[in-house]
Amino acid sequence: MWVYNITNKPIGHIARVYQDQNRVKPNEAAKSTAPASGDKVTLSATGREINALMKKVENTPDIRPEAESIKQAVKSGRYDVSGEEIASSILKTLE
């Protein structure tokens, strides 16, 4: 039931309330439909790869405490690394 161009009149208000009550809201529709048993979700190859990478990231140890201690040592001027250690690290990345 549509009522056009009725404003500031009781009938217009009643018509709008009636229309609002007859509309199905998305949240109410989702609640009323129960998921069917046996529904399946299939991830694409990219999705599976992202899922595997996320698991690896979750299992990786947190390096922030070590990085924070190095940052503080650099700020205070007590961080000292020898040239040999720097060269060794560079060579490791090239292997």
pLDDT digits (tens, 9 = 90+) for 75-92: 999 988 889 999 999 999
Check: pTM over 0.75? Answer yes or no: no
Q: Which residue has the higher pLDDT, 72 or 31?
A: 72
User: Among all chains, which residue has been given the structure tokens 């404003």?
Assistant: 7
DSSP state of 38: T
Say what the pLDDT of residue 88 is: 93
Say what the pLDDT of residue 92 is: 92
Q: pLDDT tens, 6-62?
A: 455 666 666 676 677 666 565 555 555 556 677 888 888 888 899 899 999 888 888
Say what the pLDDT of residue 42 is: 84
Say what the pLDDT of residue 10 is: 63
DSSP state of 23: S
Handedness of CA 77, 89, 54, 56 (dihedral sign): negative
Q: Do 15 and 6 touch, CB atoms closer than 8 A?
A: yes
User: Among all chains, which residue has been given the structure tokens 């399946």?
Assistant: 40
